[in-house]
Amino acid sequence: MRSTWRLRCSRLLPLLGGREVAVRFVTEAVNILGAVLLQIAVGLLIEELTFAGLVRLILAPRPADGKDKGRSNGDKGENKCSH
């Protein structure tokens, strides 16, 4: 299997301009791919930090403010304990 792959590569190298050109091409392709993936990863990280934090802030349970909410609905407090 490796010999057929090497044979194919050896036939393509003169078309690409030699081994140095092929190595340079692969290096540039990996650099471009890395740059694109880095931007996507940083964008996802920033999005998760901002929107996940906002969602947590919006959906967080709110502490009780100490007001008696039962009386505002017409409840006179007759069924409540006096202690």
Is 8 within a domain?
no
pLDDT band at 62 (very low <50, low <70, confident <90, very high): confident
Q: What is the number of domains present in the chain?
A: 1
Is 55 within a domain?
yes
Question: What pLDDT is stored for residue 61 in this prediction?
Answer: 81
Question: What pLDDT is stored for residue 43 in this prediction?
Answer: 93
Q: What is the pLDDT of residues 41-51, one digit of tens each?
A: 999 989 988 88
Is 2 within a domain?
no
d(CA 75, CA 82): 15
Give exposure, 32-66, as e/b (b: 16+ Cβ within 10 Å). Answer: eeeeeeeeeeeeeeeeeeeeeeeeeeeeeeeeeee
What integer is the mean pLDDT of 48-73?
A: 72
Q: Which domain holds residue 43?
A: 33-59
